[in-house]
Amino acid sequence: MRNAFIETLITLAEKNPRLMLITADLGFRIFDDFIERFPEQFLNVGVAEQNMIGVGTGLAQEGWTVFAYSIGNFSTLRCLEQIRNDAAYHNVNLTVVASGGGMAYGTLGMSHHATEDLAILRALPGITVTAPCDVLETVQLTQALADRPGVGYLRLERSSSLKSDQPVHLGQPRRLREGNDLTLMATGGIVSEVMAAAEMMVNHGIEARVLSIHTVKPLNPSEIHAAIIETGGIVTVEEHTVMGGLGSTVMECFVEQGMTPGFFMRLGLPDRAVDQVGDQAWLRTHYGLDAVAIVQRTRQLFATKKTQHCGIQ
């Protein structure tokens, strides 16, 4: 996804000489081509993420379209005050980019996890919050954020095995798989685990619809409402705390409309610190977010067909 992001940025910079890429001393190998071709449109502020957002805000106020890049939660939680008080308050054209969403940097421990970012950033006024699941979503969301006025957030992961060709529209979930028994909704790279889980469920007689919720805010609720009407229930999956993330967003969409799915469950990280260290695949298994665990936990719920508004397991 990172390569797709920078390749898209190069294409955009060719057409827009007022597009600026700022980094906090990271990403040089993948940025080499951009730096060589557009040296006046690149700035390294050093290991100073808070300053990166401040400088980016100033540039954006002078008419630049700015992408500010760092890893994990360094570009978000470390400089939350600057995102809130500088960029968002002034509604400038700045996109915060976090490479390594979720537990992608799992071997470096919880300091490098981005597992609360979606909840926190979607609470800030006016910010567009996105988490692509594959290369196509990365390309088209980068383009959309460059064109859309205001502050954006682009949560990237290191890689994705997904390949899809459905069009991507900001704010509109993508239906990656058809099914009427239940709907699996996910955001970001964990969608690959969800797609694998959906295929495994076929062996158990369950046809699951899969939605990629690549835009957490703003979110058009039409696909969520359709899932309630057309399928037996909803399970959300996120490599993120269950507190305030995708599951909470989806709940808001149907509760506010007075709608109730046949069953509803949020799968994500529990409300405690992610204190284990390991690679992303191991951590997903440990926390019950790999394809096998998604199948097991969903089948249990589907078998009982409990009518409930919310379940956290």
CATH of the domain at 31: 3.40.50.970
How are beta strands 182-186 and 42-44 bridged, if at all?
unpaired
Q: What is the DSSP letter of 181?
A: S
Do 148 and 183 share a domain, yes or no?
A: no
In a domain, 167, yes or no: no
Query: How is the beta sheet containing 264-269 ordered, strand by strand?
Result: 174-177, 208-212, 182-186, 234-241, 264-269
pLDDT at 182: 97
Given 156, 185, 203, which residue is the final one in a domain? Answer: 156
Do 15 and 90 share a domain, yes or no?
A: yes
In a domain, 254, yes or no: yes
Do 54 and 100 share a domain, yes or no?
A: yes
In a domain, 309, yes or no: no
In a domain, 310, yes or no: no
Cα diameter, the chain: 60
Give the chain's count of helices (H) and strands (E): 12, 12
Do 185 and 116 share a domain, yes or no?
A: no
Tally of structural domains, the chain: 2
In a domain, 253, yes or no: yes
pLDDT at 159: 67
CA-CA-CA-CA dihedral for 79, 84, 87, 88, to nearest 10 = 150
Do 203 and 137 share a domain, yes or no?
A: no
pLDDT at 94: 98
Do 42 and 138 share a domain, yes or no?
A: yes
Do 15 and 95 share a domain, yes or no?
A: yes
Residue ranges making up the domain that contains 187: 174-304
Do 121 and 245 share a domain, yes or no?
A: no
Do 139 and 56 share a domain, yes or no?
A: yes
Residue 124 in 3-state DSSP? coil
Given 130, 156, 182, which residue is the final one in a domain? Answer: 156
Q: pLDDT tens for the chain, 313 residues: list them.
A: 999 999 999 999 999 999 999 999 987 789 999 999 999 999 999 999 999 999 999 999 999 999 999 998 999 999 999 999 999 999 999 999 999 999 999 999 989 999 999 999 999 999 999 999 999 999 999 999 999 999 999 999 876 777 778 889 999 999 999 999 999 999 999 999 999 999 999 999 999 999 999 999 999 999 999 999 999 999 999 999 999 999 999 999 999 999 999 999 999 999 998 899 999 999 999 999 999 999 999 999 888 874 444 444 4
Task: Return the residue matching tokens 């440990």.
Answer: 286
Given 108, 127, 156, which residue is the final one in a domain? Answer: 156
Distance of CA 13 to CAs 63, 69, 91, 97, 229, Å?
A: 14, 16, 22, 16, 44
Do 152 and 220 share a domain, yes or no?
A: no
Residues 233 and 183: beta-carbon distance below 8 Å: yes
Where residue 253 sits, what CATH number does that domain have?
A: 3.40.50.920
Do 8 and 122 share a domain, yes or no?
A: yes
In a domain, 161, yes or no: no
d(CA 81, CA 98): 16
Residue 269's closest CA among 301, 303, 293? 293
Do 125 and 253 share a domain, yes or no?
A: no
Residue 280 in 3-state DSSP? helix
Both tokens of 271, joined, read: 């409300």
Half-sphere exposure of 311 (CA within 13 A, CB side): 19
d(CA 215, CA 212): 9
In a domain, 166, yes or no: no
In a domain, 132, yes or no: yes
